[in-house]
């Protein structure tokens, strides 16, 4: 399995599959290697169509495809893994169904204890947030950047930051220890998604010794 690092692009709830694929391809061309398919408004049939299209796209670009909150869909389209929230299924059961060669991610919100439990259940990476105000989840609680440092020091896995992340506020999260930056609006709504992707990836290049 490849190393998870850098921009972690998450798809918006767009109905137009062709447009979604076009913008996603630009983001992947910018260097992004981790993509999460997330669409809370589409029908099951539409979600399968979009996920399958993105599966083909990520294969062509050598990128990882993670499916949000839907293990059955992840397995159906042969995605590289699934990401589960606290109410989206048992992590240990998901680990068993995924096998050892697919990624399992877990939302841990503002709690290091949840991250410890997720790792014990077989999660490959943990995600914390929201770090900033987010249009996707405006009522989400806020996480402190110190949580990234604490998790990185204790847990032997990639640590992901999510929630209202932009190119302006991202450097502090990378400096605090984020291995992944989960981003929706700052890339998908950018006037130049490929350039935005490249700029996010550059933050990680600049952070390396």
Name the pLDDT band for 203 (thresholds 50, 70, 90).
very high
pLDDT tens, position by position, 115-168? 999 999 999 999 999 999 877 777 678 889 999 999 999 999 999 999 999 999
Q: Supply the pLDDT for residue 163.
A: 95
End-to-end Cα, the chain, rounded Å: 24
Q: Supply the pLDDT for residue 104.
A: 98
CA distance 14 to 71: 21
Name the pLDDT band for 192 (thresholds 50, 70, 90).
very high
**3-class SS string, the chain:** CCCCCEEEEECCCCCCHHHHHHHHHHHHHCCCCEEEECCCCCCHHHHHHHHHHHHHHHHHHCCEEEEECCHHHHHHCCCCEEEECCCCCCHHHHHHHHCCCCEEEEEEECCHHHHHHHHHHCCCEEEEECCCCCCCCCCCCCCCCHHHHHHHHHCCCCEEEECCCCCCCHHHHHHHCCCEEEECHHHHCCCCHHHHHHHHHHHHHHHCC
**Does the pLDDT of residue 98 top 80, yes or no?**
yes
Name the pLDDT band for 209 (thresholds 50, 70, 90).
low
């Amino acid at each position: 399995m490849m190393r998870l690092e850098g921009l972690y692009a998450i798809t918006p709830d767009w109905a137009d599959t062709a447009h979604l694929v076009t913008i996603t391809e630009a983001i992947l061309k910018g260097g992004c290697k981790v993509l999460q398919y997330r669409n809370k408004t589409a029908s099951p049939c539409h979600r399968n169509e979009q996920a399958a299209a993105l599966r083909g796209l990520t294969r062509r670009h050598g990128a990882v495809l993670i499916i949000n909150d839907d293990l059955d869909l992840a397995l159906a389209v042969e995605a590289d893994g699934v990401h589960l929230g606290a109410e989206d299924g048992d992590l240990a059961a998901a680990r068993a169904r995924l096998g050892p060669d697919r990624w399992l991610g877990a939302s841990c919100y503002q709690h290091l204890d949840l991250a410890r439990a997720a790792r014990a259940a077989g999660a490959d990476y943990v995600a914390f947030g929201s770090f900033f105000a987010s249009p996707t989840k405006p009522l989400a609680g806020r996480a402190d950047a110190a949580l990234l440092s604490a998790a990185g020091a204790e847990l032997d896995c990639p640590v992901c930051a999510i929630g209202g992340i932009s190119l302006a506020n991202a450097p502090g999260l990378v400096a605090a220890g984020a291995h992944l930056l989960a981003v929706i609006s700052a890339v998908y709504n950018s006037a130049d998604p490929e350039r935005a992707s490249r700029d996010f990836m550059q933050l990680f290049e600049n952070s390396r010794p």
